């Protein structure tokens, strides 16, 4: 897997910094237009330029999502937009609309193009056609099996790169094409405004008894009949690489920096062989997730009767390290902790290290027993040599 890329989401500048700190080879993020996520996850041109400078200074790559299905009125703006992305330092644009790809290829031919999973590329002929139209890379539809990927790789040009999702949320619809949010909430998931109604709880109502709501229960206390599992491929990355995948993509532009840190760190160690699979699997339980499965890679997904569709996490994000010496760290508090608490360290340099908080001091030198002000900067004694960007967490399970 030494030639495979670990591609991480960056829905904010903090998440981008975190992804790079924990070992991502590339990041993907949205710009100010057609970026298929909530507006808050889009970077301005100035922010994109700053992001690119940071990414390239570390020898990494940055891809910008332009993967909404465009309306007629948006096509004319694509030439200027593509040129601005190049000026900002984007290494590629991720597109799903055939018209968007055609317009960018014609008007901004220097801009590398990747085809989004939203384009539902699930066969070798589609992949070959996208490549002929100008795509350097295809992001495969999540419905493909390993055998299908292997055949696609064998029967497409070597110059076509193959990217596949390895971790994160799965959509109930075909590679994300869903109208449920549009129908229920009048907010389109295909325009980046999904309200995720497939994650809601539902009740059964008989038409002649309109006020009698019967819970649809799959397991004790759970009514999430639509919610999918989370994808997890950390235990068969080599098989994906052997099938021809060269970029391992983590879902999560709307996830927290703590989530990005945890997942990127686990996959980095797994890819590099610097931690056992068992340790890496346990790391993934420390970020908020739904029950895991392997998606469609080994065939159709069988419904797990124990999948309650609910989020869970073994740890709570406690603080981010801002500065560090051999004996002391300055942290930004995120969730409450006290003197006497045992905190775990999330760092690219170590997995599972712990220490007990023996003293807390504010930036004026005042001793504190309890850290309860969110984003307050505090000093802690720490027996480990940490780095800015490392994270502290507290085990809850």
The CATH number given to whatever domain includes residue 110 is: 3.20.20.380
Quick one: which of 169, 167, 170, 159 has its CA closest to 244?
A: 159
215 assigned to some structural domain:
no
Q: What is the pLDDT of residue 176?
A: 64
Shared-domain flag, residues 233 and 134: yes
Give the up-direction half-sphere exposure of residue 57: CA atoms within 13 A in the CB hemisphere.
9
Shared-domain flag, residues 154 and 234: yes
Residues 6+ apart with CB under 8 A from 131: 138, 156, 157, 159, 160
State how far the Cα of 294 lies from the Cα of 297, in Å rounded to an integer: 6
Instruction: Provide the domain limits for residue 350.
Output: 315-395
Residues 6+ apart with CB under 8 A from 177: 118, 120, 190
Shared-domain flag, residues 261 and 336: no
State how far the Cα of 165 lies from the Cα of 200, in Å rounded to an integer: 24
Residue that the structure tokens 């619809």 belong to = 173
State how far the Cα of 314 lies from the Cα of 285, in Å rounded to an integer: 6
Q: What is the pLDDT of residue 218?
A: 55
Q: Are strands 370-371 and 315-324 parallel, antiparallel or unpaired?
A: unpaired
* CATH number for position 356: 2.40.30.10
Shared-domain flag, residues 246 and 348: no
Quick one: which of 278, 233, 236, 286 has its CA closest to 260?
A: 286
Q: What is the pLDDT of residue 303?
A: 61
127 assigned to some structural domain:
yes
- Please say whether the beta carbons of 163 and 142 come within 8 A: no
Shared-domain flag, residues 20 and 86: yes
Residues 6+ apart with CB under 8 A from 237: 1, 4, 166, 248, 267, 270, 271
Quick one: which of 132, 162, 159 has its CA closest to 150?
A: 162
200 assigned to some structural domain:
no
Q: What is the pLDDT of residue 178?
A: 78
Shared-domain flag, residues 61 and 118: yes
Shared-domain flag, residues 346 and 382: yes
138 assigned to some structural domain:
yes
Shared-domain flag, residues 340 and 268: no
Domains of the chain: total: 2
Shared-domain flag, residues 15 and 152: yes
328 three-class SS: strand
- Please say whether the beta carbons of 290 and 48 come within 8 A: no
Q: What is the pLDDT of residue 101?
A: 98
Residues 6+ apart with CB under 8 A from 252: 9, 11, 168, 169, 259, 260, 263
220 assigned to some structural domain:
no
pLDDT per residue, tens digit, the chain (397 aa), is 889 999 999 999 999 999 999 999 999 999 999 987 777 778 999 999 999 999 999 999 999 999 999 999 999 999 999 999 999 999 999 999 999 999 999 999 999 999 999 999 999 999 999 999 999 999 999 999 999 999 999 999 999 999 999 999 887 777 667 778 887 888 877 777 788 787 777 777 888 888 887 766 555 454 555 667 899 999 999 999 999 999 999 999 999 999 999 999 999 999 999 999 999 999 999 999 999 999 999 987 766 666 677 889 999 999 999 999 999 999 999 999 999 999 999 999 988 899 999 999 999 999 999 999 999 999 999 999 999 999 999 999 8
Shared-domain flag, residues 157 and 246: yes
DSSP alpha helix (H) spans, the chain: 13-21, 45-57, 72-75, 78-88, 98-107, 124-132, 146-154, 180-185, 237-243, 257-272, 277-284
298 assigned to some structural domain:
no
Q: What is the pLDDT of residue 1?
A: 82
Quick one: which of 394, 228, 247 has its CA closest to 313?
A: 394
State how far the Cα of 119 lies from the Cα of 93, in Å rounded to an integer: 14
Shared-domain flag, residues 38 and 151: yes
302 assigned to some structural domain:
no
- Please say whether the beta carbons of 331 and 378 come within 8 A: yes
Q: What is the pLDDT of residue 144?
A: 94
Q: Are strands 230-232 and 161-169 parallel, antiparallel or unpaired?
A: antiparallel
State how far the Cα of 144 lies from the Cα of 151, in Å rounded to an integer: 11
Shared-domain flag, residues 232 and 380: no
237 assigned to some structural domain:
yes
Last residue in a domain, options 293, 328, 350: 293
């Amino acid at each position: 897997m030494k030639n495979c890329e670990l591609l991480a989401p960056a829905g904010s500048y903090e998440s981008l910094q975190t992804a790079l700190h924990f070992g991502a080879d590339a990041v993907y993020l949205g710009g100010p237009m057609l970026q298929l996520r909530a507006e808050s996850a889009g970077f301005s041109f100035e922010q994109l330029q700053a992001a690119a400078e940071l990414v390239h200074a570390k020898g990494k790559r940055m891809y910008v999502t332009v993967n909404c299905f465009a309306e007629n009125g948006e096509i004319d703006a694509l030439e200027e937009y593509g040129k601005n992305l190049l000026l900002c330092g984007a290494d590629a644009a991720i597109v799903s609309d055939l018209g968007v790809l055609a317009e960018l290829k014609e008007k901004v031919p220097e801009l590398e193009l990747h085809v989004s999973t939203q384009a539902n590329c699930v066969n070798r002929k589609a992949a070959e056609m996208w490549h002929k139209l100008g795509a350097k890379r295809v992001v495969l539809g999540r419905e493909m099996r390993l055998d299908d990927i292997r055949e696609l790789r064998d029967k497409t040009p070597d110059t076509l790169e193959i990217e596949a999702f390895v971790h994160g949320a799965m959509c109930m619809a075909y590679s994300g094409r869903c109208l449920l949010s549009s129908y229920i909430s009048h907010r389109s998931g295909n325009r980046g405004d999904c309200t995720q109604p497939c994650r809601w709880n539902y009740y059964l109502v008989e038409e002649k008894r309109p006020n009698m709501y019967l819970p649809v229960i799959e397991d004790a206390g759970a009514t999430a009949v639509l919610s999918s599992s989370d994808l997890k491929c950390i235990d068969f990355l080599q098989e994906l690489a052997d099938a021809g995948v060269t970029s391992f993509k983590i879902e999560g532009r709307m996830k927290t920096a703590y989530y990005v840190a945890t997942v990127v760190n686990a996959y980095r160690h797994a890819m590099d062989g610097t931690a056992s699979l068992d340790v890496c699997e346990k790391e993934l339980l420390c970020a908020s997730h739904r029950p895991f499965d392997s998606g469609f890679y080994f065939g159709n997904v069988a419904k797990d009767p124990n999948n309650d569709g609910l989020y869970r996490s073994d740890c709570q994000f406690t603080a981010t390290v801002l500065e560090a010496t051999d004996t002391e760290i300055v942290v930004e508090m995120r969730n409450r902790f006290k003197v006497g608490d045992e905190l775990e360290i999330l760092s690219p340099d170590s997995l599972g290290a712990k220490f007990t908080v023996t003293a807390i001091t504010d930036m004026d030198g005042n001793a504190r027993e309890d850290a309860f002000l969110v984003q307050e900067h505090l000093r802690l004694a720490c027996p480990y040599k940490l780095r800015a960007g490392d994270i502290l967490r507290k085990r809850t399970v």
